[in-house]
């Protein structure tokens, strides 16, 4: 049983620990620039106003991996652990800490995501001193105490390659899904049994996914750690060694953690290890400077590693999913809930595929048939079938000009924009932690020459609607991969392909959260497979996104169809960032264009020549070593919540604020036993360039997540939310809205609005 400790207890414990640590510090012995070969300092930038940036004074010639950090007590003081963070940075890392130097207030987990977005954008910004100086494929996230909770929250971000938890642990069992979604190495550095977080950290340790590489080190220093000591003390040493191993492939640093004779298996540390070998990271090792004499841990001989890598069998896979898994990829299928009672259909799906996409059940008209009344029953049928059979799920699709519910088709302007963002947020929040990838936006570009955006009602809300949808999706589910999905983008020479490419390149340069691009790949005589398809996949991959073949079907039959399927598979296999293939249906008779017999199984469920060609192409590829097979999801089947409507609370206006510039209306959109979702509509009584809403929550209620607005430091009592970057300008008589998820009972809150 997890010992529940509250956020407030962690804050108090850190405050006391910080005082003890400060009292023990010997100023004369301080080495604020770190012990590494690249002395480090900190700075700030107006482009990232809530953070402190640590980096070497003289940037090293090698690209620097990125570490983002959240402080103890979730403090917004970015220098509260400066000795510790400079120590990490001095070994050739860019470290971005939540909070400004000597800042006040509290951070939240979205600040860590902002730090990653900013760093990735700087690497692509030719005017930045970090231009082409960062290794954006190697990102670590870490946090101390309450900050560790925030680190957990973003560890599902697909950009994160390792996590460090310092004197922290999840606060309750309901958050264990954050452990189940971990797919990269994790280290726990804890202050021993006197550390208030010790019971929770040990509980987390016991619940880690099977096969996950993990290290647990306990040093009897209590919850305050050693962050204030010279170079961050023992915790600073452990941190820089872990990140040098995980993010730089330094095998000397690996010896600190691996085997019975590891460097931390002495000097008072109590050590536990899971699935660790010296060569466990997949990146190529980079030369490592000789450790400074100030480091207390002596060098040790390389221990004999215990094998933990899974090297797929050289034997061919008997099914599509087994053959694809040999190459580190998935092979998926689109399923319809209405056919899950067809035993032939489900037998093939279960045997052959390990990724599932809901054909229609998660689209806009299915999930929000009436405004603010959500129905997830059919989507849950797909999700639960997949979960019970060990499959992962792609979400399709959050925002699309087609298959909109009738009420949305009649909207326009700000009203439509807000409704779209609310839909994206609510659906992604409902499925948070359960979706591998979301098609956030589907088919937003027009066919034909010119590469223009499609003239849709969503496009007419403004060119930034796609960006706004991606940002809302990231805020709602930081752990899901976010994809743009489209058809007729297969041929590299087509204007539409180039237009999508330019959009993705722009998003990556500005830090807009996009992780993947989906290529539907519906091939027929009018849109034929082209030999430059591989060029298309590799060109997008070079932008730093994953590419996925999302809706593959190829009209035809016999050997010609089989050869085209093999060509598509070989093109994906030739591009390391092509992580999977999904076919759009099981049997030809299940296809949306069954007349073209475009799938791998005939109407009776028999394997076609195309199936054999696909399987042979997958099996012809060399096996790719992986740390462990993809984890089978372990979450309980989703229980569909009946949509509930809570009557609108009469809005209240503070007559002393804003002189009547705006009014706010508060509605509880959904209330369940332990939480609620609320919507707030802001109506402008005059032209606004910005706004701020004050929400007086009832006793026992709190805000856990906000979308389409920027929450202040308070999460209980009197909470303030200001406009986001895109919805501050509201013309007189027009409205915008934001929402939040809360704990407790949301009924009875009062709101007021003012110009900002």
What architecture is the 321-406+423-620 domain classified under in CATH? Alpha-Beta Barrel (3.20)
The whole-number average pLDDT for the span 231-235 is 92
Token pair of 467 as six digits: 């960006």
pLDDT at 20 over 80: no
Residue 742 or 128, more confident:
128
Q: Cα separations (Å) of 260 from 250, 304, 587?
A: 19, 9, 53
**Euclidean distance between CA atoms 75 and 337, whole angstroms:** 46
Give the CB-side neighbour count of residue 470, counting CA atoms within 13 A.
Answer: 24
Q: Cα separations (Å) of 572 from 489, 524, 627, 725?
A: 15, 19, 21, 38
Highest mean pLDDT: which range of 117-126, 283-292, 602-611: 602-611
Q: Are 355 and 389 in contact (CB under 8 A)?
A: no
Burial of 312-324, coded b for 16+ CB within 10 Å and e otherwise, reads: beeeebebbbbbb
Instruction: State the maximum Cα–Cα separation within the chain, in Å, rounded to a whole number.
Output: 81
* Least confident span in 203-212, 375-384, 702-711, 713-722: 702-711
Q: Cis omega (within 30 of 0) on the bond before 340? A: no
Q: Cα separations (Å) of 705 from 473, 513, 527, 593?
A: 12, 18, 44, 42
The whole-number average pLDDT for the span 391-418 is 94
Task: Tell me the pLDDT tens digit for each residue of 425-477.
Answer: 999 999 999 999 999 999 999 998 788 999 999 999 999 999 999 999 998 99
Instruction: Assign 292 a pLDDT band (cuts: 50, 70, 90).
Output: very low
**Euclidean distance between CA atoms 599 and 556, whole angstroms:** 9
Phi/psi of residue 417, nearest 5 degrees: -55, -45
Residues whose CB falls within 8 Å of the CB of residue 338, separated by 6 or more in sequence, listed in order = none
Residues whose CB falls within 8 Å of the CB of residue 635, separated by 6 or more in sequence, listed in order = 177, 180, 387, 433, 434
Instruction: Assign 417 a pLDDT band (cuts: 50, 70, 90).
Output: very high
Task: Tell me the pLDDT tens digit for each residue of 538-566.
Answer: 999 999 999 999 999 999 999 999 999 99
- Of 150, 361, 546, 551, the active-site residue reads 551
The whole-number average pLDDT for the span 690-719 is 87
**Percentage of residues of the chain with pLDDT beyond 90:** 65
Task: Tell me the pLDDT tens digit for each residue of 731-753.
Answer: 888 888 787 878 888 899 999 99
Residue 19 or 134, more confident:
134
Residues recorded for the chain: 756
DSSP of 335-363, one letter per residue? E-GGGTT-HHHHHHHHHH-SEEEESSTTS
**Euclidean distance between CA atoms 745 and 676, whole angstroms:** 7
**Euclidean distance between CA atoms 383 and 377, whole angstroms:** 10
Instruction: Assign 15 a pLDDT band (cuts: 50, 70, 90).
Output: very low
Residues whose CB falls within 8 Å of the CB of residue 93, separated by 6 or more in sequence, listed in order = 55, 64, 65, 66, 67, 243, 247
Residue 33: per-residue pLDDT: 78
Instruction: Assign 181 a pLDDT band (cuts: 50, 70, 90).
Output: confident
Query: Nearest to residue 420, comparing CAs of 634, 728, 726?
Result: 726
**Percentage of residues of the chain with pLDDT beyond 70:** 85
Query: Nearest to residue 256, comparing CAs of 219, 222, 299?
Result: 299
Residue 300: per-residue pLDDT: 32
The owner of tokens 């950090």 is: 69
Residues whose CB falls within 8 Å of the CB of residue 699, separated by 6 or more in sequence, listed in order = none
Alpha-helical regions (H) of 368-494: 377-388, 406-409, 413-430, 465-476
Task: Tell me the pLDDT tens digit for each residue of 338-353.
Answer: 999 999 999 999 999 9
Task: Tell me the pLDDT tens digit for each residue of 610-653.
Answer: 999 999 999 999 887 544 433 333 344 555 544 433 333 333 33
Token pair of 589 as six digits: 């008779």
Q: Domain 40-274 adopts which CATH fold?
A: Rossmann fold (3.40.50)
**Euclidean distance between CA atoms 714 and 701, whole angstroms:** 12
pLDDT at 264 over 80: yes
Token pair of 606 as six digits: 């028999």
Give every strand in the sheet of 662-672, ordered side by side.
Answer: 662-672, 675-684, 735-743, 702-707
In the chain, where does the domain assigned CATH 2.60.40.290 lie? 662-755
Directed axis angle between helix 495-510 and helix 465-476, to 10°?
Answer: 50
The owner of tokens 């992604």 is: 428
Token pair of 159 as six digits: 């950009």
Residue 157: per-residue pLDDT: 86
**Euclidean distance between CA atoms 750 and 756, whole angstroms:** 19
Residue 727: per-residue pLDDT: 75
**Euclidean distance between CA atoms 80 and 144, whole angstroms:** 11
Pairing of strands 330-335, 516-519: unpaired
**Euclidean distance between CA atoms 440 and 214, whole angstroms:** 32
Answering whether pTM is above 0.85, one says no
Residues whose CB falls within 8 Å of the CB of residue 666, separated by 6 or more in sequence, listed in order = 648, 649, 651, 678, 679, 680, 695, 749, 750, 751
* CB-count exposure of residue 483 (10 Å: 0-12, 13-18, 19+): buried
229 is catalytic: no
Residue 296: per-residue pLDDT: 34
Q: What is the mean pLDDT of the chain?
A: 85
pLDDT at 29 over 50: no
Residue 718 or 306, more confident:
718
Residues whose CB falls within 8 Å of the CB of residue 526, separated by 6 or more in sequence, listed in order = none
**Euclidean distance between CA atoms 296 and 482, whole angstroms:** 44
Q: Are 154 and 109 in contact (CB under 8 A)?
A: yes
In the chain, where does the domain assigned CATH 3.20.20.80 lie? 321-406+423-620
Q: Are 77 and 41 in contact (CB under 8 A)?
A: no
The whole-number average pLDDT for the span 663-692 is 82
Given CATH 3.40.718.10, say whether it is the number of domain 662-755.
no
């Amino acid at each position: 049983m997890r010992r529940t400790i509250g956020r407030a207890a962690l804050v108090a414990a850190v405050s006391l620990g910080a005082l003890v640590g400060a009292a023990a510090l010997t100023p004369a012995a301080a080495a604020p620039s770190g012990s590494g070969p690249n002395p480090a300092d900190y700075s700030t930038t107006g482009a990232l106003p809530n953070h402190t940036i640590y980096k070497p004074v003289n940037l090293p010639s090698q690209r620097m991996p990125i570490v983002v950090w959240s402080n103890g007590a979730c403090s917004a003081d970015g220098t509260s652990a400066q000795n510790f963070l400079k120590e990490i940075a001095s070994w050739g890392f860019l470290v971005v800490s939540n909070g400004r130097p000597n800042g006040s207030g509290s951070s939240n987990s979205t600040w860590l995501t902002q730090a990653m977005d900013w760093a990735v954008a700087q690497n692509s910004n030719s005017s930045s001193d970090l231009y082409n100086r960062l290794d954006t494929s190697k990102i670590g996230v870490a946090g101390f105490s309450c900050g560790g909770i925030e680190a957990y929250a973003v560890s599902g971000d697909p950009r994160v390659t390792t996590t460090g938890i310092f004197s922290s642990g999840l606060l309750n069992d309901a958050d264990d899904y954050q452990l189940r979604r971990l797919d990269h190495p994790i280290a726990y550095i804890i202050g021993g049994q006197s550390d208030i977080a010790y019971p929770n950290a040990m509980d987390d340790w016991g619940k880690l996914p099977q096969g996950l590489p993990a290290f647990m080190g306990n040093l009897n220093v209590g919850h305050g750690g050693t962050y204030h000591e010279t170079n961050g003390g023992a915790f600073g040493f452990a941190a820089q060694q872990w990140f040098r191993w995980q993010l730089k492939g330094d095998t000397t640093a690996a010896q600190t953690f691996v085997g019975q004779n590891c460097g931390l298996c002495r000097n008072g540390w109590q050590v536990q290890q899971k699935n660790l070998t010296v060569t466990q990271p997949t990146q190529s090792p980079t030369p490592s400077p000789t450790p400074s004499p100030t480091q207390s841990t002596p060098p040790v001989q390389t221990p004999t590693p215990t094998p933990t890598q899974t090297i797929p069998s050289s034997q061919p896979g008997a099914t599509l999913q087994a053959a694809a898994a040999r190459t580190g990829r998935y092979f998926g299928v689109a399923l319809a809930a209405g056919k899950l009672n067809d035993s032939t259909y489900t037998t093939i799906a279960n045997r052959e595929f390990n990724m599932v996409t809901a054909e229609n059940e998660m689209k806009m008209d299915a999930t929000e048939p009436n405004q603010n009344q959500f129905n997830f029953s059919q989507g849950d049928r797909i999700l639960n079938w997949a979960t019970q059979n060990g499959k992962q799920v792609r979400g399709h699709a959050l925002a699309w000009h087609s298959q909109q519910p009738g009420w949305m088709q009649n909207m326009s302007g700000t009203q439509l924009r807000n409704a779209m963002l609310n839909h994206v947020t609510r659906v992604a929040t409902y499925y948070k932690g359960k979706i591998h990838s979301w098609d956030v936006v589907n088919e937003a570009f027009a066919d034909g020459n010119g590469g223009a955006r499609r003239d849709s009602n969503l496009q007419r809300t403004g060119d930034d609607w796609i960006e706004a949808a991606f940002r809302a999706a990231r805020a709602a589910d930081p752990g899901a991969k976010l994809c743009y999905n489209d058809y007729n983008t297969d041929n590299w020479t087509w204007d539409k392909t180039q237009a999508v490419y330019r959009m993705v390149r722009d998003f990556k340069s500005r830090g807009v959260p996009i992780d993947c691009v989906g290529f539907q790949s519906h091939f027929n005589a009018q849109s034929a497979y082209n030999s430059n398809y591989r060029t298309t996949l590799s060109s997008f991959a070079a932008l730093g996104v994953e590419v996925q073949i999302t809706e593959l079907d190829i009209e035809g039959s016999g050997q010609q169809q089989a050869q085209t399927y093999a060509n598509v598979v070989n093109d994906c296999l030739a591009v390391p960032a092509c992580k999977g293939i999904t076919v759009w249906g099981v049997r030809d008779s299940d296809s949306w264009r069954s007349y073209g017999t475009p799938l791998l199984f005939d109407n009776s469920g028999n394997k076609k020549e195309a199936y054999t060609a696909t399987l042979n192409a997958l099996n012809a590829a060399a096996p790719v070593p992986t740390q462990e097979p993809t984890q089978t999801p372990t979450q309980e089947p989703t229980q569909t919540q009946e949509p509930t409507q809570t009557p609108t609370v009469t809005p209240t206006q503070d007559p002393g604020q804003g002189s009547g510039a705006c009014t706010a209306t508060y509605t509880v959109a959904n209330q369940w036993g332990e939480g609620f979702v609320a919507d707030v509509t802001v109506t402008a009584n005059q032209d606004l360039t910005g706004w701020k809403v004050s929400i007086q929550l009832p006793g026992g209620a709190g805000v856990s997540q906000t979308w389409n607005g920027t929450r202040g430091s308070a999460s209980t009592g009197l909470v303030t939310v200001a406009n986001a970057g895109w919805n501050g300008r509201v013309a007189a008589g027009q409205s915008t809205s934001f929402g939040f998820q809360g704990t407790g009972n949301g009924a009875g809150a009062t709101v007021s609005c003012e110009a900002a």
